[in-house]
Chains A and B, each alone.
Chain A
Amino acid sequence: MTATTEAPVAPTPEIGKDRRRKEDQRLIAGRTRWTDNLTLPGMLHIAMVRSPFAHARIVGIDTSAAKSAPNVVDVVTGADIAETQGVMINAWPITPEQKAPEHPPMAVSRVTFAGEVVAAVLARTAAEARDAAELVDVEYEELPAVLDLREAADDQVLVHPDLGTNKSALWQFDSAGAGTGGNVDEAIEKARTDGIVITRELVQQRVIPAFMEPRSVVVDPTAEQLTVWTSTQIPHIVRFALAATTGIPESKLRVIAPDVGGGFGGKLALTPEEWISVALARRVNRPLKYTETRSESLQSGHHGRAQHQTITLAAQKDGTVTGLKVELLADLGSYVALLGGGTPVLGAFMFNAIYKFPAYQFNVQTVFTNKTFTDAYRGAGRPEATFAIERVMDDLAAELGVDPLEIREKNWITHEEFPFTTVSGLLYDSGNYEAATAKAKQMLGYDELRAEQKRRREAGDRVQLGIGVSTYTEMCGLAPSRILGVLDYGAGGWEHASIRMLATGKVEAVVGVSPHGQGHETAFSQIVADRLGVPFEDVEVLHGDTQVSARGMDTYGSRSLVIGGEAVVRAADKVIEKAKPIAAHLLEANVDDVEFATGRFTVRGTDQGMGMADVALATFAAHNYPEGIEPNIDADATFDPATFSFPHGTHLCAVEVDTETGQVSMRKYVACDDIGVIINPLIVGGQVHGGLVQGISQALWEEAVYDDSGTLVSGSFVDYLLPTSADTISFDVDHTTSPATSNSLGTKGVGEAGTIASTPAVVNAVVDAVRHLGVTDVVMPCTPERVWRAIHASDGGEPTVGAAMPHFDADEAGTPSTEGAGQ
């Protein structure tokens, strides 16, 4: 190997560049590998038979007609596979006493929500399977069902009679008990005498993740390893859980997440359909595929949010908050899903948000209902928390007659106070709420819009202007394994990466995170390119196959860059350390004199040097390397974070509300987020835009609506209102930067920020537009009907609450027949 003397050309750093995505070249040309695209020789197709009842006993299932239908290979009931199908697990029993029923993938004796699988048909084509599924005759004995969350908490009708209660677990945090703050009840009592106490009942409606790619699973049992392709965010967790619950040795299981079309938490799931597919493939010993219809997806894929919140805020008369008490009822649906009650617990540390509250208490009671089980949806617990506190901080400002930003500033942690230990016990490492807020105000034209609002109020305009504020923070980078252990979560939160230095100079970065639209291949290539000084184009990022990426904890909780990116950095640093003695040997220099920068090893004080690719080739050839070391510069790293990261930001939203029709129109939305150091601003922008619309959509449009018998009536895209391009606007997105101290790149995570921040910003704007008309709340989604009722209920001095009841409530006075949440 000849040492070269060519002068190194310092490349411009990749980190911070708005690189166009590597992924796109395939995706825009239709060269895709969605699970449903896969076809294997002799592959069969599954159609599921689902319960139409919310609660019923399965009396009998007659499969004879289905079995004799054309090209049907097998028809299977829960009883047929009861011993082999395994069980759906909950990874996070939030208390030792948590009550959780057994959750069989296919119901065996009883169904607990409409949409639960009771039988499956295997046929040569998907159409034949579906035709035959219509012929499966299930006899049910309908049982009483409970659908309303608050009614369920009363235990009058039981979802699981054997448990004796619908209450699953009560999880509490109290700052006085934890030693992180004062006694909240004392703070509230004191405020009742000499301050202000605001109590609000807020509803986080049930929403549906509604990723665009319906879930699909292909199972091939014909090779040495049973291979499962599945549309999931979590191939590694699927593999572990399949092994743990079916008896298949983990080493005989290979799980692949090929191209995955969105997830948003909806594919942070172990699905009954995956388990049933594996059981059936083993039963017939042939490859098979199950792809859900959109209606099945909406009905049986897990839902999100679904909380009833009682918030009590105590403050001094000058607006200084003295205590916050949170009492939640969280709707689990009929089973405790993978994270289950852990989702509201993730919010427990976030209700105090960016504020210096001296006393805090959080209580969540998780409750079963005869509805689809709930689990993580983009933000998972944190949007619910942010919504509640940001709504109530606005109410406090209104009570005091001051600007909502003023009340926030009075209570937030100032820039100089970081690092700051919050009343919920988290150490916020960095942030600058003043800077983000100042920038957001400027972006919106806050003062001008306030002046316009004043003019229009005074003029009594039919269309009123509202300005909504959301100054949020979130905890990202899930999660420090030891903290997860303390919280009784069933796994760790580390992440893994491997870097393989190929002989031709190309680099493979194998990551344990599992992207489904986030652009990891691009962003991680940028990180590796900078770290190793290799061209961006030479880096290949591999993921999503447990035989390629053996170790990983997958993608959720804005963790991939913060945890997974740091694992990549550390693996790259190990590559450099392993390559250095080989480079020194080839350069005939002392290893202590060899330095590495911008892709080259150089000998200090000389012009001698060689590139990383040369070292990789020399290592491959292995003709000449130092004694006592391996000829291998590949490296692995597992990063377990010591703490969370805390993105924050200020979002401001201006809406116009037609007081005659209740129609809400968004006029402007600005987001100034501090997500730490940005690897790729183009990707970050996209994450924020998409997150915003999901949060805005919860505020204005989306709701999983059940009728009185427990049928999901918003069970197709006709009725479940996903916003279109015509419903939405373009956004103004900018950033301030306070680097995170928890990882060497200074990143904080951005996947969930937009969703967490935007919901309260929008509802605050809607309420702000009509608050002078006596409105204090509009229940989400803020449909024209609800807004109109809120305005006009106040005409007669009635409380807003009644007018803003969910649609479909029988006691909603004088309801015209408005169906769904559409506008």
Chain B
Amino acid sequence: MTQISLTVDGTQVTDDVEPRMLLVQYLREKLGKTGTVIGCDTSNCGACTVHLDGRSVKSCNVLAVQADGHDVTTIEGLAHDGALHPMQEAFRECHGLQCGFCTPGMIMQSIDLLNENPRPTEAEVRVGLEGNLCRCTGYHNIVKSVLYAAEHAQQGETAGAQ
């Protein structure tokens, strides 16, 4: 067992974990952060995407011990004071989800995408979300959601900010 201390969704946590424990398992099993989900075992689907120090990572591809001392944000930490993140609002507005299973990862990746490129083209959005699989929407409305969020971000600067 290894002791780790990190910040998850703004809260400081400390735990003893097996060295082999994945960050996504730590989030779900130890912290009850079940908003972040597991969709595959080969790091293809991106359903488990979270932010590590503000950058998107697939949390099945990070060991919990690697997050020691870092700052993790999950889908559950996006809303502030009851107000949804603009990307969450955009997904709702544009019907960017159906079953909702890929949605946490998709939203986290979309935020990262706009952080890097606040005014992407449709093609850039499509490439930027390539690591996140969805089986319900055909991506049409997911892409629309991200473009909507970019368009509605004030001066194209704050959509990605957390």
> Residues of A with Cβ closer than 8 Å to B?
20-21, 23-32, 34, 36-37, 39, 127, 210-214, 259-262, 264, 293-295, 516-519, 682-683, 685-687, 689-694, 716-718, 722, 724-726, 728, 730-731, 754
Contacts and interface: CB of A to CB of B under 8 A. Distances in A.
Interface of B: 18, 20, 25, 28, 32-42, 44-45, 47, 74-76, 78-79, 84, 88, 91-93, 95, 97-104, 107, 122, 125-127, 129-144
A690 B76 contact: no
A325 B134 CA distance: 38
B84 A29 contact: yes
Contact of B35 (A25, A32, A686): A32
Given A28-B88, A716-B42, A717-B44, A34 B101 contact: yes
B101 A262 contact: yes
B39 A30 contact: no
Contacts of A716: 40-42, 44
A32 B98 contact: no
Residue in A31, A34, A687 with the greatest tally of chain B CB atoms within 10 Å: A34
Contacts of A261: 37, 99-101
A212 B99 contact: yes
A182 B137 CA distance: 43
Contact of B135 (A210, A294, A683): A210
21 contacts: A20-B92, A20-B93, A27-B100, A28-B107, A29-B75, A30-B104, A32-B35, A34-B37, A211-B101, A211-B135, A212-B39, A212-B99, A212-B133, A214-B39, A294-B40, A685-B140, A686-B141, A717-B42, A717-B133, A724-B126, A724-B132
A726 B34 contact: no
Residue in B47, B84, B130, B137 with the greatest tally of chain A CB atoms within 10 Å: B137
Given A24-B92, A28-B103, A212-B102, A725 B45 contact: no
B136 A517 contact: yes
B38 A214 contact: yes
A725 B34 CA distance: 25
A498 to B, nearest CB: 25
Given A21-B95, A31-B35, A212 B101 contact: yes
B79 A29 contact: yes
A690 B35 CA distance: 23
Contact of A725 (B42, B84, B88, B130): B130
Given A212-B133, A686-B137, 13 more contacts: A24-B91, A25-B92, A28-B92, A28-B103, A29-B88, A30-B35, A37-B28, A127-B25, A213-B99, A293-B41, A518-B98, A687-B98, A716-B44
Contacts of B38: 36, 214
Nearest to B37: A34
B2 to A, nearest CB: 15
B22 to A, nearest CB: 10
A-B pairs with the 10 shortest C-beta distances?
A: A30-B35, A517-B99, A261-B101, A27-B100, A693-B138, A717-B44, A30-B75, A517-B98, A689-B138, A37-B34
A730 B122 contact: yes
Given A28-B91, A29-B35, A262 B135 contact: yes
A25 B79 CA distance: 11
A551 B12 CA distance: 47
A166 B98 CA distance: 40
B138 A690 contact: yes
Contacts of B143: 725, 730
A225 B91 CA distance: 39
Contacts, number: 179
B76 to A, nearest CB: 4
B137 A21 contact: no
Contact of B136 (A24, A29, A37, A212): A212
A730 B127 CA distance: 14
Contacts of A262: 98-99, 101, 135-136
Nearest to B104: A30
A23 B100 contact: yes
A474 to B, nearest CB: 18
Contacts of B122: 730
Contact of B130 (A21, A25, A724): A724
Contact of B133 (A20, A25, A293, A724): A724
Contacts of A731: 138, 140
Contact of A517 (B36, B100, B140, B142): B100
Contact of A689 (B39, B126, B129, B140): B140
B92 A21 contact: yes
B99 A260 contact: yes
Nearest to B89: A28
Nearest to B21: A127
Contacts of B133: 212, 717, 722, 724
Contact of B138 (A21, A294, A682, A692): A692
A27 B97 contact: yes
A717 B140 contact: no
Contact of B42 (A25, A37, A687, A718): A718
A667 B35 CA distance: 37
Contacts of B136: 212, 262, 517, 686, 690
B147 to A, nearest CB: 10
Nearest to A719: B42
B74 to A, nearest CB: 7
A519 B98 contact: yes
A516 B99 contact: yes
A117 B104 CA distance: 32
A212 B34 contact: no
A754 B135 CA distance: 13
B135 A682 contact: no
Nearest to A681: B95
B50 to A, nearest CB: 10
Nearest to A33: B34
Nearest to B93: A20
A37 B76 CA distance: 14
B45 A717 contact: yes
A525 B135 CA distance: 25
Given A214-B38, A689-B140, A716-B41, A28 B126 contact: no
Contacts of A718: 42, 44
Contacts of B140: 685-686, 689, 728, 730-731
A26 B140 CA distance: 21
B65 to A, nearest CB: 15
B127 A726 contact: yes
B100 A686 contact: no
A731 B143 CA distance: 12
A210 B139 CA distance: 15
B24 to A, nearest CB: 12
A213 B103 contact: no
A260 B99 CA distance: 7
Residue in B93, B102, B122, B138 with the greatest tally of chain A CB atoms within 10 Å: B138
A27 B76 CA distance: 10
A624 to B, nearest CB: 42
